[in-house]
Amino acid sequence: MTDHLMQNYLPLPVTFEKGEGAWLWDTEGKKYLDGLAGVAVCGLGHAHPAVTRALCDQAATLVHTSNWYHIARQEALAERLTALAGMDRGFFSNSGAEANEAAIKLARLHGHGKDIDKPTIIVTEGSFHGRTLATLTATGNRKVQAGFEPLVQGFVRAPYDDLQAIETIASNNNEVVAVMVEPVIGEGGIQIPDAGYLQGLRQICDARGWLLILDEIQTGVGRTGKWFAFEHASIQPDIMTLAKGLGNGVPIGACLARGEAAELFQPGHHGSTFGGNPLVCAAALAVLDTMEKEKLVERASQLGQQFIEGFQATLAHVDGVVEIRGQGLMIAIELDRPCGELMNTALQAGLLINVTATQVVRLLPPLILTDAEAQQLIDGVSKLITDFLN
């Protein structure tokens, strides 16, 4: 404990010292099963040997040069990611918020290219897009914004999973240039839209010449049981952002674009000192290699089903459980009451879980879980919730 950190976080009373796979050990030697993976970051678990090797080898060779020079690892990563995602070009940042900033800047360039003076982006209620001024403005949660006004101009909000609301905005506002949504809302409580929502957005964007921007920072890189969540809807975005699962804990974000949107940035338009340096790109390449080799995308889908079926069996009939839902390894158990204290009781029981949107227990476990570890999480979390509700 120190008095010398700003007080923007409220950490639980534990300090972890080492990790391996789905397990963490605290400074007292107590062992925890990780159902959160650093908030959808460590998809390959902790200290995965392939990532460790890539980091050590790259650190011993070259950590950083500058985007003033070609970076072979960055070029290789752009080729891998665009091929996987069906996109054309990528820009690398250090975080999710910065990846979204790049997407927002692309949308504004797109608008100015059509002589729209105040290009406006439609964003949704309940969304989370980051903590920079533009991304907290895009975020559909007043708590994230309060105290930081004035907010950034050029955003208009619609309810999530409501195509009619988008059409209504379209007919009243001729400065709209893009729609930016999460394919599954993460921080806002794992909200999964209707099957036709993303397809409907795609059609509206095509009809009006808008860009469809998907924030896949939480859903991307295998988390939902597909490489990218848009694949569930068989559509293709114009712009997609990634971050959390991409580096397995090494700070890297990406903004990928396709078609006209991929050609918008010209020299001088955007940049980052650290973004896409050899070290982080080596880690991300190792993540992609390992996901392919260990077939972790398919595994996420399979495990997701095991979680949903498991929780249905243990919790569906419990009074106070409102809904059990998920897509791949984004899993939610919504309760009828606030349940933030469950994070603490889980910790005492040696389990790491999260509560978001006040009353949603959220699991974002690593994709490398064994069946037995998944079952241990299901049993442990079911018991915690049942005890809490009784």
Ligand X SMILES: *Cc1c(COP(=O)(O)O)cnc(C)c1O
* C-alpha triplet 1, 128, 245: angle, nearest 5°: 70
Catalytic residue among 91, 215, 226, 307: 215
Could you say which of 81, 184, 243, 368 contacts ligand X (CB under 6 A)?
243
Tell me, yes or no, if 244 is annotated catalytic. Answer: yes
Please report, for residues 128, 276, 290, the alpha-carbon distance to residue 94 in angstroms, rounded to integers and kept in the order given: 17, 8, 21
Residue 176 in contact with residue 208, Cβ under 8 Å?
yes
Closest separation in Å from C-beta 332 to ligand X: 14
Binding piece for ligand X, criterion CB under 6 A, among 159-167, 210-218, 290-298, 366-374: 210-218
Could you say which of 215, 238, 334, 373 contacts ligand X (CB under 6 A)?
215
Query: Mask 162-191, x = binds ligand X (CB under 6 A)?
Result: --------------------x---xx----
Q: Cβ closer to ligand X: 144 or 321?
A: 144
Task: Copy the structure tokens of residue 184.
Answer: 């599954």
Binding piece for ligand X, criterion CB under 6 A, among 105-113, 168-176, 212-220, 311-319: 212-220
Residue 145 in contact with residue 91, Cβ under 8 Å?
no
Catalytic residue among 92, 161, 226, 244: 244
Report the site for ligand X in 110-169 (rule: CB under 6 A).
Answer: 128-130
Tell me, yes or no, if 226 is annotated catalytic. Answer: no
* C-alpha triplet 182, 328, 135: angle, nearest 5°: 20
- Nearest CA to 189 among 136, 242, 126? 126
Could you say which of 21, 45, 96, 245 contacts ligand X (CB under 6 A)?
96
Closest separation in Å from C-beta 132 to ligand X: 8
Tell me, yes or no, if 128 is annotated catalytic. Answer: yes
Residue 105 in contact with residue 283, Cβ under 8 Å?
no
The residue type of 107 is: A
- Nearest CA to 353 among 34, 51, 3, 20? 34
Closest separation in Å from C-beta 185 to ligand X: 8
Closest separation in Å from C-beta 245 to ligand X: 10
| CB-based closest residue to ligand X | 96
Kindly list the strands in the beta sheet with 211-215, ordered across the sheet, starting from the edge strand earlier in the chain: 89-93, 253-257, 239-242, 211-215, 176-181, 120-124, 155-158
The residues carrying an active-site annotation are 128, 215, 244
Binding site for ligand X (CB under 6 A): 95-97, 100, 128-130, 182, 186-187, 215, 217-218, 243-244
